[in-house]
């Protein structure tokens, strides 16, 4: 009989599984992987003679798939040879690179996955957990921790699990969900501004 080694964390299907602090560790791991991929392609990405449209293709095909959260802006600055201290507005940088927006793609994938999961005919644990509510579970006092489904409910409403089963109706709400998340993110960055959604 072969002994199985006990570990505190491991990679399963491309994602970090850990006993504690899983999300921060996973974010750090993906950011590090993205920068490794970027620097492995630095001969292309940092080449000043190469057109930005070619760099965009390399980015979208080779770097973007392992990208997450905050390192996209840093990569775009690095491609253009711009530093933070140059104080060039991010929208100007993005208008020049026209790289895919990681945040929008993540939100789109979340929306599509939620719809796909609930239209699945086989009883899978992801669907069972998403539809399950504890009968006497109570949330702690104070501002409750945001649930995975809360931002979906903000667009589709409390009956989102029923709406998701209608593919065409779900598809029609996708753009509203992605744009709403972009607006909320922008509002969160501004001090003393309350979100009206």
Q: In tens digits, what is the pLDDT along the chain, a chain of 197 residues?
A: 777 788 888 787 667 788 888 878 888 888 888 899 999 999 999 999 999 999 999 988 888 887 765 678 888 889 999 888 888 998 898 899 998 888 888 888 889 988 888 888 777 777 776 766 666 666 667 776 777 788 888 888 888 888 998 999 999 998 888 887 655 555 444 444 333 33
Q: What pLDDT score does 54 carry?
A: 93
With tokens 């949330």, the residue in question is: 139
Domain range list for the chain: 9-100, 104-133+144-189
For 101, residues 6+ apart whose C-beta sits below 8 A from its C-beta are 72, 94
Residue 27 CA: distances (Å) to CA of 31, 101, 103 = 6, 17, 13
Structural tokens at position 196: 């009206």
What length does the chain have? 197
Question: Distance from CA of residue 139 to its chain's centroid?
Answer: 26
């Amino acid at each position: 009989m072969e002994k199985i080694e006990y570990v505190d964390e491991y990679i399963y299907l491309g994602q970090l599984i850990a006993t504690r602090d899983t999300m921060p560790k996973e974010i750090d791991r993906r950011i590090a992987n993205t920068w490794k991929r970027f620097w492995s392609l630095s001969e292309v990405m940092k080449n000043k003679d190469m057109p930005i449209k070619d760099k965009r293709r390399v980015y979208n095909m080779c770097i973007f798939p392992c990208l997450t959260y905050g390192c996209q802006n840093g990569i775009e600055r690095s491609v253009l040879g711009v530093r933070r201290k140059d104080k060039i507005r991010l929208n100007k940088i993005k208008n020049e690179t026209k790289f895919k927006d990681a945040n929008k793609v993540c939100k789109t994938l979340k929306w599509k996955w939620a719809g796909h999961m609930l239209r699945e005919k086989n009883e899978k644990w992801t669907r069972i957990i998403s539809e399950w509510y504890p009968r006497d579970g109570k949330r702690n006092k104070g501002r409750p921790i945001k649930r995975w489904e809360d931002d979906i409910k903000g667009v589709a409403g409390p009956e989102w699990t029923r709406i998701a089963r209608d593919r065409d109706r779900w598809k029609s709400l996708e753009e509203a969900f992605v744009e709403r998340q972009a607006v909320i993110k922008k509002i969160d960055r501004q001090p003393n501004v309350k979100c009206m959604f």
